[in-house]
């Protein structure tokens, strides 16, 4: 396996918004942002897997540099893709997520910026996303995405390194995005939608957080 280091209109329909506290006592960014995710997957069909460390956006751009035809050969446009393209609108419950989410965690971030990060996670969805060992309340957190100060964090509460499909990280981020929103009037014809929150895996061994980065 090779090792490589790289250091929208969001909502198409009306959503029911959960009321969010503007600030709370969630862990500070310095506690969360210990590292960036490591993606492991195939960049070209039939070749060995490659590991790339970075945010989802930088990982995707590095993959495209290595194989400009990745989307059609192995990505979401490919007939070989094990993951179907997903939208961010309210949809039927995703099998990969739990109901164990809270909006009372983190600080407000722009929902459109979170949506952009989710789309990049889906762009690398056919690979594995890893996070370092951690413990409950002090998880080994990685920055999966950081767009305009809006972060998606994958946090590991287990003493073993976490490996999970990147599309599962994206699915969980969408679940928080759908359930935890507040929209405020910004003057004129402008409305701003913010989000933040946390969702745990079904076995509570890891979680995904939307918070400032």
Q: What is the pLDDT of residue 84?
A: 58
CA atoms within 13 A on the CB side of 100: 11
Return the bridge partners of 36, or none: 143
User: pLDDT-based confidence at 65, cuts 50/70/90?
Assistant: very high
Encoding tokens for residue 105? 């965690």
Residue 206 has pLDDT above 70, yes or no: yes
pTM score of the predicted model = 0.82
Number of DSSP helices (H) and strands (E) in the chain, helices first:
5, 14
Q: What stretch of H or E contains 198?
A: strand 197-200
Euclidean distance between CA atoms 179 and 176, whole angstroms: 5
Q: What is the pLDDT of residue 75?
A: 85
Taking the CA atoms of 61, 66, 68 and 71 in sequence, report the sign of the dihedral they define: negative
DSSP 8-state secondary structure symbol assigned to residue 213: -
What radius of gyration, in Å, describes the C-alpha atoms of the chain?
17
Encoding tokens for residue 174? 């969408």
What distance lies between CA 36 and its chain's CA centroid? Answer: 12
Strands of 38-41's sheet in order across: 2-5, 50-53, 38-41, 128-131, 162-165
Task: Output the CA angle 184-103-86, nearest 5 degrees.
Answer: 85
Overall average pLDDT of the 104-122 stretch: 93
CA atoms within 13 A on the CB side of 30: 0
Residue 126 has pLDDT above 50, yes or no: yes
Encoding tokens for residue 22? 């503007």
User: pLDDT-based confidence at 53, cuts 50/70/90?
Assistant: very high
């Amino acid at each position: 396996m090779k090792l490589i280091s790289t250091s929208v209109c969001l909502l198409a329909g009306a959503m029911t918004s959960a009321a969010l506290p503007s600030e709370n006592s969630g862990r500070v960014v310095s506690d969360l942002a210990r590292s960036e995710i490591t993606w492991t997957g195939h960049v070209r069909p039939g070749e060995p897997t490659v590991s790339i460390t970075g945010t989802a956006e930088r990982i995707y751009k590095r993959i495209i540099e290595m194989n400009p035809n990745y989307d059609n050969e192995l990505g979401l446009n490919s007939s070989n893709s094990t993951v179907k393209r997903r939208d961010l609108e309210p949809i039927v419950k995703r099998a990969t997520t739990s109901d164990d989410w809270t909006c009372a965690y983190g600080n407000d971030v722009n929902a459109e910026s979170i949506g952009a990060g989710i789309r990049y996670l889906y762009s690398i969805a056919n690979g594995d996303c890893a996070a370092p060992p951690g413990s409950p309340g002090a998880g080994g957190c990685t920055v999966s995405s950081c767009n305009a100060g809006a972060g998606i964090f994958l946090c590991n509460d287990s003493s073993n390194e976490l490996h999970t499909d990147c599309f599962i990280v994206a699915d969980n981020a969408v679940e928080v995005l759908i359930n935890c929103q507040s929209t405020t009037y910004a003057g004129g014809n402008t409305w701003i939608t913010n989000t933040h929150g946390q969702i745990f895996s079904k076995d509570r061994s890891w979680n995904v957080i939307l918070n400032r980065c």
